[in-house]
């Protein structure tokens, strides 16, 4: 019984190590994305921001219109 417990503990430790690596890579990806967003917000990208806002409003109204027709 203790051998099976030891095997299970080794398997669980291996899975935890893999999860730790996955979370580290996801954290790096999020950090890079946040860096890009900071660069975008600092620059003079007002025209791009206006286009994004208009597109978002357009999508919102289209969804609202579709829901209202049902």
* Confidence at residue 52, expressed as pLDDT on a 0 to 100 scale: 86
Q: Cα–chain-centroid distance for residue 64? A: 26
Token pair listed for 8: 């299970």
**Locus of tokens 């890579």:** 25
Domain residue spans in the chain? 1-69
**What does the pLDDT read at residue 44?**
63
- Residues 6-47: pLDDT tens digits? 999 999 999 999 999 888 888 888 888 888 877 777 766 677
The per-residue pLDDT for 59 is 95
Find where tokens 């967003």 sit.
37
Q: What is the mean pLDDT of residues 1-6?
A: 90
**What are the residue ranges of helices labelled H in 1-70?**
2-42, 46-69
- Overall pTM surpassing 0.75 (yes/no): no
pLDDT of 35 reads 83
């Amino acid at each position: 019984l203790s051998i099976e417990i030891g095997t299970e503990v080794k398997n669980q430790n291996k899975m935890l190590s893999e999860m730790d690596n996955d979370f580290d890579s996801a954290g790096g990806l999020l950090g890079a994305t946040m860096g890009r967003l900071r660069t975008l917000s600092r620059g003079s990208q007002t025209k791009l921001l206006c286009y994004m806002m208009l597109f978002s409003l357009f999508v919102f109204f289209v969804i609202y219109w579709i829901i209202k027709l049902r």
